[in-house]
Amino acid sequence: MPAPATEERDRLDRAALLDTAEALFYAHGIQAVGMDRVREASGLPLKRIYRLFATKEDLVVAVLRRRDRRWRESLAAHVERVAGPRERVLAVFDWLAAWCAEPGFRGCAWINAHGELGAASEAVLTEVRAHKRAFHDQLSGWVRATGLPLTEPVYLLAEGAIVTAGITGDPSAAGHARKAVEALLRGAAD
Amino acid sequence: MPAPATEERDRLDRAALLDTAEALFYAHGIQAVGMDRVREASGLPLKRIYRLFATKEDLVVAVLRRRDRRWRESLAAHVERVAGPRERVLAVFDWLAAWCAEPGFRGCAWINAHGELGAASEAVLTEVRAHKRAFHDQLSGWVRATGLPLTEPVYLLAEGAIVTAGITGDPSAAGHARKAVEALLRGAAD
DNA sequence: TAAGGTAGAGAACGACCGTTCTCAACGTCA
DNA sequence: TGACGTTGAGAACGGTCGTTCTCTACCTTA
C-alpha cells in the first residue's frame, strides 16, 4: 500500500519542516530567512517543500497556526492544573514569566510577524488577529470565572508584558503584570 | 556665501527625506519600501539621498529617532496642559486613544520596526529600546507625581493598548486601559 | 570666455529573493 | 527485463534589493 505510506511520509516531513521553519523564522525573522535556508536546515529538497506548501506565505501561515495551537494548549494545561478562579488568572502570568525567561525568547511571534508582514500579507494579518482573539477569549473565560469584569485590563496587562519582555529582553515584565492583576482583583472585590 | 546655503539646503532636504521615508516605512513596512521608492516619493536623486544618509539603516534610525522626539513631545504637550497628577496620568490614555484613532494608524512604529529588524539590525534594536525606555521614564515621572507606586502597571497597560490597537485596528483598547488605570488609582489610594 | 569641480538622472552591479526547470537516478509494475 | 512515473539535487530564471558608477549639464571662479 504505497498511498498511505506516502501520506504518512508527507505528514512527518510537514511536521519536520514546520519545526525547522518555526525555529528559523522566530530566531531571525521571516523575511531574513530564505527558502534555501529552510531547505538546508530541514534537509528536504526544495521541490518537496513546495509540494507540501505551495508558497512561502502558506508555510508562514502554517507555522503560525501550529504555534498558536501549541502555545495556547501549553498555557491552558498550566492554568487548569491550578484550583480557584483567581489563582488561575494569576497562573497565566506565572506561565508568561516562565515563557519570557526561556533561552532564545525573542518576543511574541505573532506581534513580530505583524510588524514584518502585517501590511504586506493579508493571510498573515488574519492569522495574527485570529491568534490574538483566541488568546483574548481563552483569558476571558478564566477571568469571568472570578465573577469580576476584568477581562480587558488583564488582557492588556498580558499583552503589555509580552511586548515589553520581547523588546527589552527583561522577563520581569510578567511579574509586574501579575502584581497589577493582584491589585485589580483586590480592588474590584470590595 | 555658498557653504551656509549648502548646509541649509542639506537641512531642508534631510527633513523632507525623513518626512517621506517615515510615511512610507510606517504605512508599508521598512523592508517593503526600497530606496528607489523613497527616491521617487521624495523627488531627491539617489546620489543626494546617499550623501545625506550613508545607508538605508542610517535613514531608518534617523526616522525612528526624529519620530521619537516628536511623539513624546506631542504626548508631553497634551499631558502637561492638564492640572492634577492623577488627571495627567489619565490624560496619557486620552492622547493614546486619539493617536490610535488617527486615519492611517498602523500600530507602534517601534514595535513594528522591532518585529522587522530587531533580530537583524543592532542599530534599530538600540533605537527601539531607547524609545521604549524614554517613554517609560516619561510616564514614570507623571505616575510618581501621584505618590502611588503604579509606574509598571500603567506602563504595561499603555503598551498593551498600543500593541492591541495596532493589531486589531480597534482603538478602544486605550479606553479600556484608561478605565483600568482609574481602578488602580482608586484601589491604591485607600 | 575657458576650465574645473559638482550635481542630477538613471543605468548598472552584484547579491539574493521566491519559484520553476532540467536531468539523471530510482523504484515499481507489466 | 524494460518502460514509465516519481523523486532528488541543484542550476536557472526573472525580479528586486541596496548601493555605486557613468556621463552629461551646469554653475562657479579666474
* A112: pLDDT strictly greater than 80: yes
Of A31-45, A46-60, A154-168, B2-16, which range is least confident? B2-16
Averaged over A143-149, what is the pLDDT?
96
Whether residues B48 and B63 fall in one domain: no
Whether residues B74 and B45 fall in one domain: no
Q: Which of A114, A121, A151, A155 to mutate to test the interface with B (most CBs of B within 10 A)?
A: A114
Whole-number Å distance between alpha carbons of A49 and A39:
8
Percentage of residues of chain B with pLDDT beyond 90: 89
Contact A156 B173 (CB under 8 A): yes
Whether residues A79 and A130 fall in one domain: yes
Protein CA B52 to sugar C1' D28 (Å): 23
Number of domains in chain A: 2
CATH number for B46? 1.10.10
Averaged over B157-173, what is the pLDDT?
96
The CA-atom distances, in angstroms, between B74 and each of A189, B60, B135, B154 are: 37, 21, 12, 19
Q: Quick check: B71 and A158 in contact, CB under 8 A? A: no
pLDDT tens digits, A73-111:
999 999 999 999 999 999 999 999 999 999 999 999 999
Whether residues B117 and B150 fall in one domain: yes
B6 touches strand C (CB under 7 A): yes
Contact B183 A179 (CB under 8 A): no
Protein CA B5 to sugar C1' C13 (Å): 34
List for chain A the helix, strand, coil content (%; round to 5).
80, 0, 20
Whether residues A35 and A69 fall in one domain: no
Whether residues A29 and A121 fall in one domain: no
Secondary structure class of B52 (helix, strand, coil): helix
pLDDT tens digits, B97-150:
999 999 999 999 999 999 999 999 999 999 999 999 999 999 999 999 999 999
In this complex, the nucleotide whose C1' atom is nearest to the CA atom of residue A44 is D8
Q: Does B28 touch chain A (CB under 8 A)?
A: yes
pLDDT grade, residue B189 (50/70/90)?
low
Q: Which domain holds residue B62?
A: 57-187
The DSSP 8-state label assigned to residue A101 in this structure reads: T
B3 touches strand C (CB under 7 A): no
The DSSP 8-state label assigned to residue B148 in this structure reads: S
CATH number for A124? 1.10.357.10
Whether residues B113 and B34 fall in one domain: no
Whether residues B23 and B113 fall in one domain: no
* A188: pLDDT strictly greater than 80: no
Whether residues A50 and A70 fall in one domain: no
Whether residues A69 and A156 fall in one domain: yes
- Choose the final residue of a domain: B34, B54, B74: B54
Whole-number Å distance between alpha carbons of B28 and B173:
23
Whether residues A90 and A158 fall in one domain: yes
Percentage of residues of chain B with pLDDT beyond 70: 96
Q: Does A174 touch chain B (CB under 8 A)?
A: no
List for chain B the helix, strand, coil content (%; round to 5).
80, 0, 20
Whether residues B50 and B61 fall in one domain: no
| pLDDT for res A1 | 36
Backbone dihedral region of A170: left (phi > 0), alpha (psi from -120 to 50 degrees) or beta? beta
